[in-house]
Amino acid sequence: MLTGRNSDRTKLLVVIVLVAVITWFHYRTPLSLPFPHELFARLYYLPIFLGGFWFGLIGGTGVPVVVTLLYFPHLWMGWGESGFVFWNKILEVILFNLFGPMVGILTQMEHRQRARNQELQTLASIGEAAAFVAHEIKNIVIPVRGFLRLLRQTCPMDGKAESYIEIAQRESSRLEKIAKNMLTFARRASIQREPIAVEALLHDICHTLSEEFKEKGVELICNCHEGIGEAYLDLEMIRQAIINVLQNALHASPEKGGKVRLKAERGRKLLRVVIKDEGDGIPEHCIEKIFLPFFTTKPKGTGLGLAIARKVAREHGGDISIRSTQGKGTRVSLELPLLGEETFPNKEVSCNP
């Protein structure tokens, strides 16, 4: 079997032999026989093509240059020929030097595309495997957490044992969060749109997070525009995206006294959900990476929060944008196109938790 290097050598040899054989026959043929000359000139396209096909741009440029140099004396010999024949040959040489690089470039592009497709396939398989593992972890960790809670409630234990159980509970809940995030991120199913009352959704989210915010002494201020009405969205996914962004805002906020604002407004064609915090902001060198899966600056973060939020927004045909000023805070905006089928109850809406 030919290894990569050996096969390259063989290919090179094939190109060299072809060029040499064509050139030899070309020069052996008397000038008085125009047809074989034309034929040999055309046969040069074969090694030129193979040069570009096998060796990319280098081969596609190198072989025609060698062929041109070999062809040059022949041109010289035919200097006395009629203008048409001579210029025909010049044109042929120009074509050699255009055809080779073109084949080389196209082959390189094709190779790159194939490599990219292979990479995507590998990533998809890894993603599937990761989702399977995450699913199993979640199935195991949920009962473990339940039993830990029961143990705490039913068995009398001293302070040390209590603290061990507490650590086990905390770490298993972290494990559950990682598994949940990975599952959402790897989720392939298409979104399930349904009419969602935006006011109720925001109200529910604020209620869910109210304890977390209270614990840190951060105020969560929620405002919906008047008559915000309904939007066709995937409830669970949008809920998770907004929670992820709000949790980031909470983590970034100064303890005791920080404020996070959640606002929803309806444009003519889109619903915009804006989350603003007064935290430290995002350092410039991080801003490009924050949407990358697994990018995190937090010791216990999964780095999937914003990647999920962006995936959710994009699957709804929208996007997420972020503006941050260091020392002043961050503004995240989720823009979700409306389908035009939503209803608009014209009433004043307030969704403070």
Ligand X SMILES: Nc1ncnc2c1ncn2[C@@H]1O[C@H](COP(=O)(O)OP(=O)(O)OP(=O)(O)O)[C@@H](O)[C@H]1O
Q: Give the CA distances from residue 174 to residues 70, 207, 216, in Å, rounded to whole numbers and listed in that order.
A: 71, 21, 19
Please give the structure tokens belonging to residue 248: 């980031």
Q: What residues form DSSP beta bridges with 221?
A: 261
Name the residue whose CB lies closest to Mg ion.
305
307 binds, among Mg ion, ligand X, none (CB under 5 to 8 A by kind): ligand X
Pairing of strands 219-224, 259-266: parallel
262 binds, among Mg ion, ligand X, none (CB under 5 to 8 A by kind): none
Q: Using the rule CB under 6 A, which residue among 22, 282, 320, 336 binds ligand X?
A: 282
Q: Does residue 303 bind ligand X (CB under 6 A)?
A: yes
Q: Using the rule CB under 6 A, which residue among 196, 205, 224, 249 binds ligand X?
A: 249
Shortest Å distance, C-beta 244 to Mg ion? 5
User: Any idea what the Cα angle at residue 289 is, between residues 288 and 291, rounded to 5°?
Assistant: 105
Shortest Å distance, C-beta 170 to Mg ion? 17
Residue with tokens 């430290």: 280
88 binds, among Mg ion, ligand X, none (CB under 5 to 8 A by kind): none
Q: 282 or 349: whose CB is closer to ligand X? A: 282
86 binds, among Mg ion, ligand X, none (CB under 5 to 8 A by kind): none
**Sheet holding 329-337: strands in order across?**
219-224, 259-266, 270-277, 329-337, 319-325
Q: Does residue 244 bind ligand X (CB under 6 A)?
A: yes
Q: 258 or 353: whose CB is closer to ligand X? A: 258
Stretch that binds Mg ion, among 148-156, 196-204, 244-252, 321-329 (CB under 5 A): 244-252
Q: Using the rule CB under 5 A, which residue among 172, 248, 253, 333 binds Mg ion?
A: 248
Long-range CB contact pairs, 299-307, < 8 A, 24+: 300/174, 302/177, 302/178, 302/181, 302/182, 304/181, 304/182, 304/184, 304/185, 305/181, 305/244, 305/245, 305/247, 305/248, 306/244, 306/245, 306/248, 307/185
Q: Does residue 254 bind ligand X (CB under 6 A)?
A: no
Region 135-194 residues binding ligand X, contact defined as CB under 6 A = 181
Q: Give the CA distances from residue 261 to residues 2, 209, 306, in Å, rounded to whole numbers and listed in that order.
A: 65, 13, 18
Q: Using the rule CB under 6 A, which residue among 233, 290, 313, 320 binds ligand X?
A: 290
Please give the structure tokens belonging to residue 11: 């290919």
Region 312-331 residues binding ligand X, contact defined as CB under 6 A = 330
Q: Using the rule CB under 5 A, which residue among 305, 318, 329, 353 binds Mg ion?
A: 305
Q: 23 or 324: whose CB is closer to ligand X? A: 324
Please give the structure tokens belonging to residue 327: 């020392």
Size of the site for ligand X (CB under 6 A): 22
- The secondary structure element, H or E, covering residue 263 is strand 259-266
Q: Does residue 184 bind Mg ion (CB under 5 A)?
A: no
DSSP class of residue 269 equals S
Q: Does residue 209 bind ligand X (CB under 6 A)?
A: no
Q: 199 or 277: whose CB is closer to ligand X? A: 277
Q: How far apart are CA 271 and CA 17, in angstroms?
A: 68
Name the residue whose CB lies closest to ligand X.
305
Q: Using the rule CB under 6 A, which residue among 304, 313, 336, 351 binds ligand X?
A: 304
Reduce the DSSP state of residue 290 to 3 states and report it. coil
Strand ranges for 124-168 from DSSP E: none
Q: Does residue 23 bind ligand X (CB under 6 A)?
A: no
Stretch that binds ligand X, among 42-50, 93-101, 109-117, 304-312 (CB under 6 A): 304-312
Q: How far apart are CA 347 and CA 226, in angstroms?
A: 6
Binding residues for Mg ion, rule: CB under 5 A, are 248, 305
Binding residues for ligand X, rule: CB under 6 A, are 181, 244, 248-249, 252, 277, 279, 282, 286, 290, 295-298, 301-307, 330
